[in-house]
Amino acid sequence: MVGKVTQSTGAWYQVKSERQPIYTCKLRGKLRLNNWKLTNPVAVGDEVVFDLEKDKATGVITEILPRKNYIIRQSPRRKNYSQIIAANIDQVLLVATLAAPRTTLGMIDRFLVTAESWSIPATLLFNKVDRLDIMQQNELKAIRKLYEAIGYPTLAVSALKNKNIAPLIDLLANKTSLLSGPSGVGKSTLVNVIAPAINQKVRNLSRLHQKGTHTTTYAAMFEIAPHTFLMDTPGIKALVPHEIEKEKLSHYFPEMKSRLQACKFYNCTHTHEPACAVIKARKQGEIAESRYRSYEYMMKQ
């Protein structure tokens, strides 16, 4: 039988097939032993082949079908391993906020590079706009202008005040969307507003550090409307892009990619070379300083 993984809790997976809504499956031993260097060989969104066991209620995953794309990062616990956040995605929605806990531009850029590496369309959702003071509102306008100028749609929302939720729901229609972001930005609250029947758990911020606590403890995919799927994953405390060659990193910054042919050297790293079109654009203010610093940071990782 063939199905799609809708939930991953570690050892067990929920798999949706056409024959029956959901089967609980485990991974075949031989697949677990494959040298994938992955902390999770099977991810939410994966299409898999599975056999039913004698009870006809549980199954064994025997094959993972080829993925059209995925979002991957370096495992936060095992440096030489990778972790697939989700697979077979139509678009990613990165939730960020300038309220506590503030999302850094570096975090946003690392996530966007990861999406760009698989040509996955990305939209930035700035949540908690109801909590911003005048200075923060002006800062948000500048940040949205920065990212929209290089091709990333943005949307300012408030899950608590139900602001701009209708445009967000329209954005999700007839697509498989990954909702991701750091802990505490309000992902679970957004999910509950978009699809109340899901009823994701919501926790308050850590009072001591004003940081997010992991509310969603496992990855899951929900069908929130016909042909409309929403993937919710645990909050990301750290994101290190993975499987990206340093020589190709500049290709995943749209404002750099459009200038690469103008560099004097074909193997330009855009860090120190003479007649570098990227460095020139940075000096002229055509490439944002924050974006270039993110590029430098990733080149050193």
pLDDT tens readout for residues 125-169: 999 999 999 999 999 999 999 999 999 999 999 999 999 999 999
Q: In the CATH hierarchy, which top-level class contains the domain 2-64?
A: mainly beta
Whether the predicted pLDDT of 215 surpasses 50: no
Whether the predicted pLDDT of 207 surpasses 50: no
Fold classification of 70-232 (topology level): Rossmann fold (3.40.50)
> Please, is 94 exposed, middle or buried when counting C-beta atoms within 10 Å of its C-beta (0-12, 13-18, 19+)?
buried
Lowest mean pLDDT among 44-58, 80-94, 190-204, 277-291: 190-204
CA distances from 22 to 7, 59, 204 (A): 10, 10, 32
Lowest mean pLDDT among 10-19, 167-176, 216-225: 216-225
Span 163-189, pLDDT tens digits? 999 999 999 999 999 999 998 999 989
Q: List where CATH 2.40.50.140 sits in the chain.
A: 2-64
pLDDT of 208 reads 34
Please, which residues have CB within 8 angstroms of residue 287's CB and are 6 or more apart in sequence?
A: 255, 256, 278, 281
DSSP letter string over 91-113?
Answer: EEEEEE-SSSSPPPHHHHHHHHH
Q: List where CATH 3.40.50.300 sits in the chain.
A: 70-232
Q: List where CATH 1.10.40.50 sits in the chain.
A: 246-300
164 or 198, which is more confident? 164
Question: Diameter of the chain by CA atoms?
Answer: 68
Whether the predicted pLDDT of 198 surpasses 60: yes
Q: What is the mean pLDDT of residues 235-259?
A: 89
pLDDT of 155 reads 98
| SS3 state of residue 138 | helix
Q: How far apart are CA 27 and CA 21, in angstroms?
A: 19
Fold classification of 246-300 (topology level): Ribonucleotide Reductase Protein R1; domain 1 (1.10.40)
E strand intervals along the chain: 2-8, 12-17, 23-27, 47-52, 58-64, 70-74, 82-87, 91-96, 122-126, 154-156, 176-180, 219-225, 228-232
Whether the predicted pLDDT of 74 surpasses 90: no
The overall pTM is greater than 0.85: yes
Closest Cα to residue 114, out of 229, 238, 1? Answer: 238
pLDDT of 188 reads 87
Whether the predicted pLDDT of 31 surpasses 80: no
